[in-house]
Structure formats: structure tokens, C-alpha cells
Structure 1
Amino acid sequence: MGIDASHKADRSPSMFEVAKLAGVSHQTVSRVINDSPHVSASTRARVQQVIDDLGYRPSNSARTLASKRSHTIGLIAGGQHFFGPVSTLASIEELARRHGLFVTVSLIHEALCTQGEFEELCRTFEDQNVDAFVMLAPTDVMFSAACKARLSEPRVLVTSTHGQLGMGQAGRMMSDEDRQRTAIVGLDQWGAMERVAELVAKFGHRSVWYLAGPVQWRDAVTRLAAWRKVSALHSIDTRIIQARSWEAGEAYSLMNRELERLGQSGQNRPTAVITANDAQAVGVYRTLREHGLRVPQDVSVVGFDDMAGMDNMMPPLTTVRPDFDRLGAAAMQEVLRLLGVTGQTSFQESAHGAGLISCEIMQRRSLGPVSRN
């Protein structure tokens, strides 16, 4: 059946026009759109021909008529000013589109949000009839709020495995029903720090400064806890320098203070500095250079995140590369599993109450052997 070209040139066609031209009800058109088995092959072919001829594109509301779903995911994200959360958010949105899902996003301050503010966002999303939630919860404040929220929809929490709020305590904040509708995914940052410690020890480093990230961030707590444990296993003597932010400027100031203190005391400097993220490593580079120290001949440096440009530092930075694309894919796969669309997870490992995505160590020239001079 052909459709006159002049008809196509008008406004976008509606589902009711498709139904009229195909000689069926709009409910039948909706069933065809949603691949319902309750439509005969001949009717399906007739409706599909009209859809193709009109260039009709179904809206979310049309698809919802048959599926009882909005095909919309509510995403609440903290940490939008930082590399990791932004990269994960982009990956989630891209994968959702590939599955025909729309992501509606609300950004919230990761450290200052209240339980009431968080639950108000959830109610706003529920008013939009979202099918599920994805919550990027980089801090204990957000993780706690996400666990306490009472929701009838599935939720996927993207967070790190360790923090001041433990996984067991977080689980007790939820009802039995909530736990059954909840999945937690994250990066295997503990495993990454194990491999960093192995590599540092292999190069002979036994005196290391570790520049820790802000304590309210679960990533920072996980990386520090892992480093404390695994460095001790390799007999690495570590001095912890606690930062209040992820910023390069603060790292620069902290390193200046520590190197000046070291000069006054006459103690030996460390042979390596490990930072909780790459921005801190940039600040460390600047400090070392201003103090006349070379990387890696005098002090090796290792970062975390593999931010853009780290391979072009002088020298290129050895760092951990988290797979944010796979993390976003894992979050969406868990959404589909909880909705009953698929029965599989997208990660091979799980530990500490979360499905884990591995990280890669990018070994570059900022990490070298201990100088024997």
C-alpha cells in the first residue's frame, strides 16, 4: 500500500493516522511498535508498511500503551565536576540510547545533598513514570541517601566498594524488597592498587609518600585502604599525606610543605609518590620540578584515572585507567536485568557486595627504578 507524497510533507504523522490508514485500532499499532506476539503476521506487515510509508516514529507515550513502561531511566548523579563521574554518566546515556531508552538526568551536590533533597528528586522522577533509577553516588552522603530512599522501582547504585559507610551497613538501611530490586556496581580499585604496589615494589621502591583524596569520597577511601594493606605486604614504608580535595593546586601546596619540612629535618626524601588521582599528580610534578627533582630519576610518580593528556606529560605519567565505558555498560545491563529484559550481568567479578569492572595499569616513564646514586 502506497501513501501519497503530499501526505508525508505535512506535520509529523500520529499513531492514530497510522491506525486509520492501516484499518486497525491504535492499540494494534501500539502492539506492533512494541513487538507484541498478539498480532497476526498479515496485520503486522500491513501496519509496518504504513509506518514505513509515513515515516512514523513512535513516541515514548505510544510505546508505553502496550508495554506499560515509559522506557525512561531516572539518573541522579553527583560529582559532575570530576572526570570519573562525567565519563560514567556519558557511557550510561550512550548505552541507554542504543537500547531505545531515554535517560533523564538530575545533578546533585555529592557532598552537600540532604536526604530530603534526594528523596524529592526521586519523587519527581516517579511522577515521570521512570522504569528504573541509576544513581552515581561517589560520596558516603549520596550513597546513604540512595540506600535509604523508599522506591517501588529498581535502582542501580554506581559507587566504590569502601567508605566510612560499609556495604553491610548500607544493606541494612534497605528493606528486604528494596534489596531485591537493587544492584551495586563499581570499579575494582582495590585490585588496581594491588597491581600498583606490585609494580612499585618491583622497581625497588620502599619509601613512598601517598597523597590521599578527600575522605568523604568513597573512591579515595577505597584507594587509600587498599594501598595501606598492599603496601605493607610488600614492605613499603608509606607516609600518608591527606588532601581535602582532588585539586592539583592543593597537591602542589601540600608537597611544597612536606619537601620544605624534609629539607629542614635532614631526612631522606621518598623514592616515589603515589597520588589518588591524576590532577594531584600534576601538582606533584610541578612541586618536584621547582625543587630541582627529576621524574623518575629522583622521584617516581604514579597517578589514578588516566585523564586526557597524561600520556603527554613530561615524562608521561604512569597511572591507572578505569574502564568507565564498561562501568556504564554494567550499570545499564543491571537495569535491564532488574527489569526482566535480560538475565545476565555484564561483569565477571564481584566482591565487597558489588559487581566489579577491572582497571588497567598504564605503565609509562614516570615510574622507574630506585636510583643507586
Structure 2
Amino acid sequence: MPPGSRERRRSGRPSMVEVARLAGVSHQTVSRVINKSKDVSEPTRLKVEAAIRQLGYRPSNSARALASSHSRTIGLVAGGVSLYGPVSTITAIETVARSHGLFMSVMMVDEATCTQQGFQELCGTFLEQNVDAFIFITPTDTMFQAACQVNVTQPRVIVTSTHGGMGIEEALSHNLGSDRVALTGIDQWGAIQQVVRQLVQLGHRRVLYMAGPPEWRDASTRLASWWKACARYHVKTAVVHARSWESAESYTLMNHLIDERGMTGRSMPTAVVTANDNQAVGVARSLQEHGIRIPQDVSLAGFDDIPTVDNLNPPLSTVRPRFEELGTATMRQLLAMLHQGRPVDFPVTRHGVGLIQADVVPRRSLGRAVRRS
């Protein structure tokens, strides 16, 4: 009977003591091998690893936490999880964490009702788990402020946009210059600048922009960049302000605009740009139901490149944020703060936020401007 088999039948899983007995070493040596200590000779390490494989031993995370004072757990608080971008970012974060032997403890937050007190209580729950660090995905001003001002001492990376009702410097007033707070995001400002440049190259000079809900920092950043780019390139623009990201609302808003212009005799813009792809879907339906062809009569572009928009009729021109790359960079930045790698060399940094590129994806919904009488 192999050593320790009686104990395994009782416990259901092999113990560190059994591994030590099979390898002919002390359990302290096994612990050092598991925790990748350099104070173990190569022959001994190979012998212990062979015993681990033979017994199918899996180290207890809680035991490792007690031994090292680290839980190897990251607390993640996320808003906006009903939308494509945050979900894609979270998936990439979790993948990188797992590849480094880290565990993710995730809590979803209603970004519309989040309060500072509620956010602090969530983090308190994580602190009871002895998390090593935090990642906060903060799409709204309220969440962003809460993530900046929450009372925790662990390193934190905040995923956000560069513009909003609350500026970066204001929100981080008591954390400015701290090496325990980092910010990451998508270069949405630069992406909107690219969109306007492409419109100008196609001859568009009168364009409608449908903005997103103002409490969302993504919407604020895209709108601020839109105004700046239109002024720079002498594009005449009107802006419709939506209260949500939903296609049903953008459909209704576009119907009202078409009816109003029909009654007043004002001509339609040569292009419509929406703050996300869901809105573009609603706008497309409204245009088509009114017999307005895309792009022959009015061009259309969105933002986010969500699945299926490349199969609309016509396929939607849009902006593709590199959400997976953002998640990877966010986790790598946190690892650097935990002294497990080098900080990320972001291609662009604005207002202290390290930014990942977003790419304009031209498709058939965006064509040359038609001349209006």
C-alpha cells in the first residue's frame, strides 16, 4: 500500500505531509517548492514536483495565503456589465490573472444607483477575503468618484474614460502621485477624431451626432472630442442627446428628427454618427422605414463594433476599441504594482490615464456625401 493511502481515503485529497513523505523531504521543503522559493536545489525540486504529480496534490489557496500573508486574490468591482465592452475587458483580465496563478473575486454593481457608502461596503467584503489588490471598472461619474475615494490601502487600477462630469485630478485629489493607484482606458478621444477626419475626407460637412447618456464617462469623452474635431475641421453639426444606450430610444429620437425636418423643410444631414452601435441600429431602422437609403442618402457610423453589426444591411462602419488589449494591460499594470512585472508602456496617456488604441472600421454604411440643394 503506497505511503499515505489510508489518510487519502479518509480525507479525499492528498496532503502536503504525504507529498513530503513520498519525496523524502520535510513538509517545509514542499511548501518552498509550491511557493517557488529559490532556496531549493534543482534535484530536490524535481523530486517534489514528481511526488505532487503522482499523488495529484493541489495546494490549498487559503493555506498558501496564511503562509505568505498574500491571498493571491484580486477583487474586481465592475459596472456596465450588460454591455459588450466591460464584459470583454473582464474576460481578458481574468485570463491574465489565471495565467499568473491569481484568483478573481468579482462583484457586479448597478452603475446607475451606486453610492460611495455602498462601494465602500463592497470593498469591505473584499477586505474580509484579504485580497491583494483591486480593479475597478467605472463607466459612470458616480462609480469613478467612489473608486478614487474608497478607503483601501491595497493597490488599485481604475478602468475609466478621460472626460466626465468629474475630472481625473479632482477625483484623485488625495491620491495624486500615489504609486498605489493607476488608471487605464480606451483612447476614445483619438478614435472620434479619426471618425471626423474620415467624414471630412468623404465630403461630409453637415453631420448629426447622437450622444450617449451624460452620466457615462464614455459618452462625455466621445462628445467632447466630437465638438473639438468638428470645430477643427469646420464640420457643421447638430447633437441629439440620448438618455440611454438603447436602440429603442435612438429609433424614437431619429423618427422625431426626420418628422420635424419634413415639416419644416430643413434638409437632412449627409451623415449620422452615434455614440455606440446599439444606437446606430435604431437609427438605421428609422432611416430605412422612412425610405432613406444608407449610405446613398445618409451615411451612418457607430462605436464599439459589437458582434453582428458587420452583418447589418449595409454592414455598419464603426470604431473597434481593443477591449481585450485593455483588459490585458490593466492586469499587467496591476501585476507591476504587485512587483510581478514591468509597468505597461501605453502608446497614449491623457490626464494620467494609460490608453489603448481604438480603430476605425470602415464598412458600406459610410459613403461619400451626397449634395443637397
Residue range with higher mean Cα deviation, 54-63 or 357-366: 54-63
Report if the CA contact (8 A) 2:3-2:21 is conserved.
Answer: no
Cα deviation code 1:226-267 (max 9, x no counterpart): 000011111111101000000000000001111111111111
Q: What is aligned with 1:141?
A: 142
Q: Is 1:208 matched up with 2:207?
A: yes
> Structure 1, unaligned stretches of length 5 or more?
none
Residue range with higher mean Cα deviation, 305-314 or 51-60: 51-60
Q: Is 1:48 matched up with 2:49?
A: yes
Structure 1 residues 172 and 47 mapped into 2: Cα distance closer, same or farther (>3 Å)?
A: same
What aligned pairs does 1:83-122 form with structure 2 within 5 A after superposition? 83-122=84-123
Q: What is aligned with 2:182?
A: 183
Report if the CA contact (8 A) 2:90-2:327 is conserved.
Answer: yes
What aligned pairs does 1:208-247 form with structure 2 within 5 A after superposition? 208-247=207-246
TM-superposed deviation, 1:4: 7.4
TM-score by length of 2: 0.95
Structure 1 residues 211 and 67 mapped into 2: Cα distance closer, same or farther (>3 Å)?
A: same
Cα distance in 1 between the residues matched to 2:346 and 2:363: 28
TM-superposed deviation, 1:3: 5.4
Report if the CA contact (8 A) 1:8-1:55 is conserved.
Answer: no
Structure 1 residues 127 and 313 mapped into 2: Cα distance closer, same or farther (>3 Å)?
A: same
Report how many residues are paired: 370
What aligned pairs does 1:357-368 form with structure 2 within 5 A after superposition? 357-368=356-367
Cα distance in 2 between the residues matched to 1:4 and 1:316: 66
Cα deviation code 1:87-130 (max 9, x no counterpart): 11111111211111110100111121111110011111011011
The code of the aligned residue for 1:296 comes to: P
The code of the aligned residue for 2:298 comes to: V
Cα distance in 2 between the residues matched to 1:297 and 1:210: 18
TM-superposed deviation, 1:65: 4.6
Cα distance in 1 between the residues matched to 2:345 and 2:97: 14
Cα distance in 2 between the residues matched to 1:175 and 1:237: 39
Q: What is aligned with 2:164?
A: 163
Report if the CA contact (8 A) 2:8-2:14 is conserved.
Answer: no
TM-superposed deviation, 1:70: 1.1
Cα distance in 1 between the residues matched to 2:153 and 2:40: 31
TM-superposed deviation, 1:61: 2.4
Cα distance in 1 between the residues matched to 2:89 and 2:2: 44
Q: What is aligned with 1:342?
A: 341
Cα deviation code 1:269-319 (max 9, x no counterpart): 100000000000000001001111000000000100000001100000000
Report if the CA contact (8 A) 1:75-1:103 is conserved.
Answer: yes
Report if the CA contact (8 A) 2:3-2:22 is conserved.
Answer: no
Q: Is 1:370 matched up with 2:369?
A: yes
Q: What is aligned with 1:312?
A: 311
Cα distance in 2 between the residues matched to 1:282 and 1:31: 57
Cα deviation code 1:37-79 (max 9, x no counterpart): 1223343233222112112122312433554311110000011
TM-score by length of 1: 0.95
Q: What is aligned with 2:328?
A: 329
Q: What is aligned with 2:298?
A: 299
Cα distance in 2 between the residues matched to 1:114 and 1:338: 27
RMSD of the alignment, in Å? 1.9
Report if the CA contact (8 A) 1:3-1:53 is conserved.
Answer: no
What aligned pairs does 1:15-30 form with structure 2 within 5 A after superposition? 15-30=16-31
The code of the aligned residue for 1:292 comes to: G
Residue range with higher mean Cα deviation, 19-28 or 109-118: 19-28
Structure 1 residues 157 and 145 mapped into 2: Cα distance closer, same or farther (>3 Å)?
A: same
Task: Report the 3-state secondary structure (helix = DSSP H, G, I; strand = E; otherwise coil) of the residue aligned with 2:296.
Answer: coil
The code of the aligned residue for 1:124 comes to: T
